[in-house]
Amino acid sequence: MMAPYLFSQIGVTPAMIEEINEKFATALEAKGVRAEYDVTTDIFPRDSLFAIRKEYRAKKLSWTRPILIDASDSRFLIVKFRQVWKNLLFDLGWQLGIAILLISIFIGSFLYLFKTIFRQNRLAEMQKAFVNNMTHELKTPVSTVMTAIEAIQLYGVKNDQVKMDRYLAISRRELDHLSDMIDRVLQLDVDERKGLKLDKSEIDLMLVLNNAADTFRINVSKEVKISVNSSVPTLRLHADESHLRNVVNNLLENAVKYSGDVVTITIDVCDHSDYIEFSVSDKGKGIALEYQKEIFGMFFRVPEGNLHPVKGFGIGLAYVRQVILQHGGKITVKSSPGKGSTFTIKIPK
C-alpha cells in the first residue's frame, strides 16, 4: 500500500484515477458495501490548508480525507459519496427496524403503565370523594332535625301548635330525605366516566327551593333571612330531585357558613324558553378572583392561612358542579371579597 504523501511525488494521470476507482469499487463490493460515489480531483487555493480542513470537517461523513496529488496546482484526490444517509439506512435496515420496534414497545408499555396508574389514582380519588361527600351530605338532615328538636324542647315551640306542626313537618321531610340518601348509598352505581347515576323525574323546582329555604331559616346559631323571588308559583323541570336538592342545600349551607351572625340570602328564579336559571346570592366573605375557577375542584378550599375557621372537606362545590353538568347545565360564580357571592345555575328544561 502506498503512503498518502507519496501521491504528491508521482504524476497522477486520469488512467491512474480510473484504476483507483475500479480497485475502490472492488474493495467495497468485497466488504458488501453498496454505495454511490465519485472519485474526483479538486483544486483548492494555495496556502489554504485551514480552508481544506474546514471543508473536510464539514463533509467528513460523505468525503474521504483529501490526498494531495499535485503540490504545484494544490490538487487533491477525494472520494465523494452520494446519498450517504440513504445508503446507511438501507444497510442498517433490519437493525433499525428492530430498534424502532423495541422503542415502540417501550413507549407503549410506559403509556399503558401511566394510563393504568392514572386510572387507579382517579378511581381511588373518586371513592374517597364519594365517601367524604356522602358524609358531608348526611350531616345536613341530621343537623336540621336536631335543630328542630332543640327548638321544640328549649324555646317553647311546643306551646305554639302552628310552629310545632311546622317543625315536625320539616323534621319528617329531612328524615325522609335522610332515608332516601341511605338507600341511594346502598344501591348507588358510581360509574367511572359518567359519575353519579341520576334518577330523573318531573319535579317542581319552586317546591325544592322553598323547602330548602324553610329548612335553613330555622338555624339557631345565626339569624338567617332567605327570600325566594320568582314570577311563577311553580316551575316544572325534568331532573333528579334528590341530587338537585343537595345542590341547593350545599349552596345555602356555604352562604350561611361564610356569612356573619346575620345571614341574608336571595334566591332569584327565571323561566326562559329552553332553560331554567336560578341564583343564590349572599353578603358573606366573598371569594377572590384568583380562586373562583378553582373552588369547583375536588378538595380545594380557599387559603386562609394555617387555620380554617369554617370546617369542611372542600368537596361540596365539586359535587354541585358534577350534578349540574350531568343535568346538561352550567354553574358560574361572581364574587368580590367582603361583598358576597352569587352562584348562578342554568339547567335545560
Same domain, 51 and 194: no
Same domain, 65 and 11: yes
Rounded Cα–Cα distance for residues 76 and 108 (Å) = 51
Same domain, 158 and 54: no
Q: Which domain holds residue 259?
A: 118-348
Taking CA atoms, 72 is separated from 18, 46, 47, 173, 299, in Å, by 22, 9, 11, 111, 84
Rounded Cα–Cα distance for residues 143 and 121 (Å) = 33
Rounded Cα–Cα distance for residues 19 and 13 (Å) = 10
The pTM of this model reads 0.53
Residue 103 within a domain? no
Q: State residue 299 phi and psi, 5-degree precision.
A: 70, 10
Residue 159: the pLDDT is 76
Rounded Cα–Cα distance for residues 290 and 107 (Å) = 38
Same domain, 161 and 243: yes
Query: What's the domain count of the chain?
Result: 2
**Which cell is 30 given?**
468485497
Residue 107: the pLDDT is 94
Same domain, 122 and 82: no
State which residues of the chain have pLDDT below 50. 1-2, 5, 187-193, 306-307
Residue 183 within a domain? yes
Residue 308 within a domain? yes
Residue 14 within a domain? yes
Taking CA atoms, 125 is separated from 143, 299, 300, in Å, by 27, 10, 13
Residue 106: the pLDDT is 93
Triad 139, 145, 146: Cα angle to 5°: 85
Residue 188: the pLDDT is 47
Residue 112 within a domain? no
Given the DSSP bridges, would you call strands 262-271 and 223-229 parallel, antiparallel or unpaired?
parallel
Same domain, 151 and 202: yes
Same domain, 149 and 292: yes
Same domain, 202 and 309: yes
Rounded Cα–Cα distance for residues 201 and 196 (Å) = 16
Residue 75 within a domain? yes
Same domain, 78 and 199: no
Name, in order, each residue with C-beta under 8 angstroms of 321's C-beta and a sequence gap of 6 or more.
296, 331
CATH number at residue 148: 3.30.565.10
DSSP per position, 96-159: HHHHHHHHHHHHHHHHHHHHHHHHHHHHHHHHHHHHHHHHHHHHHHHHHHHHHHHHHHHSSGGG
Q: How many CA atoms lie within 13 A of 215 on its CB side?
A: 29
Q: What is the pLDDT of residues 178-237, one digit of tens each?
A: 876 676 555 444 444 456 778 899 999 999 999 999 988 887 678 899 999 998 899 999
Same domain, 200 and 60: no
Instruction: State the alpha helices, DSSP H only, in 155-240.
Output: 161-187, 205-217
Name, in order, each residue with C-beta under 8 angstroms of 327's C-beta and a sequence gap of 6 or more.
198, 239, 240, 244, 347, 348
Packing angle of the helix pair 161-187, 241-257 (nearest 10 deg): 120
Termini Cα distance of the chain:
94
Same domain, 42 and 127: no
Of the three residues 51, 76, 91, the one that is the final residue of a domain is: 91
Residue 20 within a domain? yes
Residue 101 within a domain? no
Same domain, 85 and 166: no
Give the SS3 label for residue 35.
coil
